[in-house]
């Protein structure tokens, strides 16, 4: 019997000293996320869809005076929206159920200004229902945008409107299944139609909408939904519409200081290290310049490099990405937008295809209680519910991954175990290369997710060194990746002096080009530095990845005479000294004639020498809110600036909706001076705008 007791005691001691010993987790660093926050964090990337009355009036903010009859998509297919979002890797869709103009996409009982009085679906349609059902079919979460401001409501500014607003919220949260996010815009009060009053109404956006009651409605009907606004109460605006957070980005803020329209909105980009509430950032931006569809922006869909930068600047900086898709007036996600969405998906899949840390040896400089529950291996086990943790008081610690053979790495992805709060204040990434350590990146916060990009290193070890934290470190995941070289077509620019520059986002990718119109390959001239092309030529260029032997399609640019000696010598109105903007070789700048003029406007340019002219070019203004686009023209040529010959006149077909460079050919005419007259322009007056004017002196390939 005594022998059995001794063995039992020894067995108990062995168990208590072994790996199964319970060690308390680190004390939470408050504030910590609510239960509804965690599924939202995991979504990371989802779609905004701005589709409403503005789609059919070609506006961004409607006045409220629009008629329901104007809403009439011809091919609306909510399933196409959901399919595109799913294939793009998005995890949800938020629809603008009502924008500031007050038009409701569901047959609400609160107003006649809704789809029930439109010709679409013979007045029997419910777009909110269609998109909610499409999301369910494709496994996407569904959210709603409801504008508090209503420029159509005659009672806006009165208590009766607030009751209607709350009832609209109840309808949306009752009849359309599970809602993951409720989105409230910060734009509130101002001029509007207001039932025909056409006046300006101001409200106190802190108190008028009775936000406490609105929040209570959401909590009652959709308790797991997060509420978005400048001040939350659950998630916050990132403080810009460009889709990025600051490099330092805390998920906590002093929430009681914030309200819709908060003037210190720049602080939203970084959060508050001493925040009192969990209020993580959502970064919203549109895939085009505008939030709503405008045909004139079909050529301005964001480039792949821009979209990739947005992803790394949002999801890669502890923020969710809400990317807007401006569904077009057919009722479809436009094919140009779809193309870029799929290119982004393909690139991100390639960037994060293989986590090189998985299966490798990993060691920690400190482990909480020397216990396997908090071991270094938890960071690479693929489970975000396990984590590596340090002992109390240890806020300077590291994880080191060792490779059997030198391995190329250019991405590091990190996640903290946020149920216990956000902790890391500063960290570094080091690489052991040829036996020597080199710091490849130093940054501040991590949070739910942090992704770092850096030049490719071939390392035998990668070390993530936490340099400072609010408390014991908790790292849930560590990912090491070798993203492929970023192979996209080169960007080509040219100065007024004729200097050509070419660039690609990845320094590992080479550029090869020709100047005779032939197709380039890796045997063509390699681009190393800017060079001058003063005479007409056809430049074609490719990007080439020597690692994979792959190349892009060729970019072709027709180069004509350099504009270094050009000068705008006469304008019919406006500031002559600023008119050189229309010959600066940059279509993103512009010059315009004076406002409220009545006669056709024109510009006269001295080319500095005599040329055999065969045509001219005109770039319309590229601004988000364009004006004065020349629709009908008269182009004249002179040898002496006295005697003029009109060589081309006509219409720039569809230039308002397709703001690309317009090129007009004419019979060869000798001249030194050119005159472009804006016979008619788009808009209510004769003000004319010019982004860029050029000439053609050669027959282009």
At 139 the pLDDT is 98
Interacting residues of 547 by C-beta distance below 8 A, sequence separation 6+:
484, 485, 508
Distances (CA, A) of 207 to 176, 182, 211, 394: 28, 19, 7, 45
Q: Are 419 and 33 in contact (CB under 8 A)?
A: yes
The pair phi, psi for residue 113, each rounded to 5°, is -85, 75
Going by their DSSP bridges, the two strands 591-592 and 555-559 should be labelled as: unpaired
The answer, yes or no, to whether residue 645 has pLDDT greater than 90, is: yes
The answer, yes or no, to whether residue 325 has pLDDT greater than 50, is: yes
Distance CA 345, CA 350 (A): 9
Distance CA 126, CA 132 (A): 10
At 12 the pLDDT is 34
Q: Which residues of 67-99 are buried (b: 16+ CB within 10 A; e: fewer)?
A: ebeebebeebbbebbbbbbbebbbbbbbbbbbb
At 125 the pLDDT is 98
Determine the average pLDDT of the residues in 263-287.
96
- List, for residues 602-622, the tens digit of each pLDDT value: 999 999 999 999 999 999 999
- List, for residues 292-310, the tens digit of each pLDDT value: 999 999 999 999 999 999 9
**CA proximity to 449, closest of 43, 88, 29:** 43
Cα end-to-end span (Å), the chain: 101
Q: Positive or negative CA dihedral for 427, 431, 437, 440?
A: negative
Q: Positive or negative CA dihedral for 365, 413, 444, 39?
A: negative
Please compute Rg for the chain using Cα positions: 30
At 614 the pLDDT is 97
- List, for residues 16-72, the tens digit of each pLDDT value: 344 457 899 999 999 999 999 999 999 999 999 999 999 999 999 999 999 999 999
Cα torsion through 343, 348, 353, 356, rounded to 10: 150
Q: Are 446 and 425 in contact (CB under 8 A)?
A: no
At 698 the pLDDT is 66
**CA proximity to 98, closest of 76, 128, 122:** 128
**CA proximity to 388, closest of 319, 470, 257, 478:** 478
Distance CA 616, CA 693 (A): 7
The answer, yes or no, to whether residue 1 has pLDDT greater than 90, is: no
Q: What percent of the chain has pLDDT over 90?
A: 92
Distance CA 503, CA 370 (A): 51
């Amino acid at each position: 019997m005594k022998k059995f007791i001794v063995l039992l005691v020894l067995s108990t001691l062995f168990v208590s000293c072994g790996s199964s010993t319970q060690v308390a987790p680190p004390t939470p660093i408050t504030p910590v996320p609510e239960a509804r926050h965690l599924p939202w964090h995991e979504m990371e990337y989802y779609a905004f869809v701005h589709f409403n009355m503005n789609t059919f009036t070609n506006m961004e903010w409607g006045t409220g005076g629009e008629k329901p009859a104007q809403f009439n998509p011809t091919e609306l297919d909510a399933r196409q929206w959901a399919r595109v979002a799913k294939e793009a890797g998005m995890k949800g869709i938020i629809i603008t159920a009502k924008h500031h103009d007050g038009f409701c996409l569901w047959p609400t009982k609160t107003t006649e200004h809704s789809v029930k009085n439109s010709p679409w679906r013979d007045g029997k349609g419910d777009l909110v229902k269609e998109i909610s059902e499409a999301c369910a079919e494709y496994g996407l979460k569904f959210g709603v945008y409801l504008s508090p401001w209503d420029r159509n409501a005659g009672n806006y500014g009165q208590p009766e409107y607030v009751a209607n607003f709350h009832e609209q919220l109840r309808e949306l949260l009752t009849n359309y299944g599970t809602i993951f996010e409720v989105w409230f815009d910060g734009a509130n009060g101002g001029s509007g139609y207001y039932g025909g009053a056409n006046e300006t109404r101001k409200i106190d956006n802190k108190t008028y909408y009775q936000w406490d009651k609105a929040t209570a409605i959401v909590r009652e009907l959709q308790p797991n939904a997060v509420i978005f606004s400048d001040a939350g109460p659950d998630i916050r605006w990132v403080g810009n519409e460009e889709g990025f957070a600051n490099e330092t980005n805390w998920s906590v803020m002093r929430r009681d200081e914030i309200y819709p329209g908060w003037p210190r909105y720049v602080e939203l980009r970084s959060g508050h290290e001493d925040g009192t509430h969990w209020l993580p950032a959502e970064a919203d931006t549109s895939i085009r310049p505008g939030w709503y569809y405008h045909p004139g922006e079909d050529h301005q869909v964001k480039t792949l490099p821009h979209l990739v930068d947005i992803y790394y600047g949002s999801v890669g900086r502890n923020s969710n990405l809400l990317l807007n898709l401006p569904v077009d007036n057919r009722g479809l996600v436009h094919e140009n937008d779809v193309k870029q969405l799929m290119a982004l998906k393909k690139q991100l899949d390639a960037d994060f295809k293989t986590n090189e840390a998985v299966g490798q040896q990993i060691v920690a400089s400190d482990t909480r209680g020397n216990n396997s529950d908090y071991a270094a291996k938890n960071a690479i086990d693929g489970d975000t519910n396990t984590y590596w943790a340090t002992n109390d008081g240890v806020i300077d610690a590291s994880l080191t991954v060792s490779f059997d053979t030198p391995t190329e790495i250019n991405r590091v992805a990190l996640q903290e175990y946020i149920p216990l709060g956000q902790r890391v204040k500063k960290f570094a990434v080091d690489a052991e290369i040829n036996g020597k350590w080199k710091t490849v990146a130093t940054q501040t916060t991590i949070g739910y997710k942090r992704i770092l990009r850096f030049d490719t290193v071939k390392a035998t070890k990668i070390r993530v060194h936490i340099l400072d934290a609010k408390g014991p470190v908790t790292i849930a995941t560590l990912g090491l990746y070798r993203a492929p070289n970023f192979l996209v077509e080169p960007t080509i620019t040219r100065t007024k002096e004729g200097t050509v520059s070419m660039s690609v986002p990845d320094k590992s990718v080479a550029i090869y080009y020709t100047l005779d119109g032939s197709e380039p390959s890796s045997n063509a001239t390699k681009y190393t530095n800017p060079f001058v092309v003063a005479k007409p030529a056809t430049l074609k260029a490719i990007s080439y990845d020597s690692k994979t032997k792959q190349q892009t399609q060729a970019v072709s640019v027709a180069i004509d005479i350099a504009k270094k000696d050009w000068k705008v010598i006469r304008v019919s109105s406006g500031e002559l000294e600023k008119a050189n903007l229309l010959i600066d070789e940059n279509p993103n700048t512009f010059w315009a004639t004076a406002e409220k003029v009545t006669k056709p406007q024109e510009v006269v340019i001295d080319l500095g020498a005599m040329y055999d002219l065969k045509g001219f070019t005109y770039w319309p203004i590229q601004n988000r809110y364009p004006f004065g686009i020349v629709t009908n023209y008269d182009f004249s040529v002179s040898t002496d600036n006295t005697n003029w010959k009109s060589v081309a006149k006509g219409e720039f077909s569809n230039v308002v909706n397709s703001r690309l460079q317009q090129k007009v050919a004419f019979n060869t005419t000798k001249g030194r001076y050119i005159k472009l007259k804006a016979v008619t322009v788009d808009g209510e007056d004769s003000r004319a705008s010019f982004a860029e004017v050029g000439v053609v002196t050669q027959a282009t390939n």
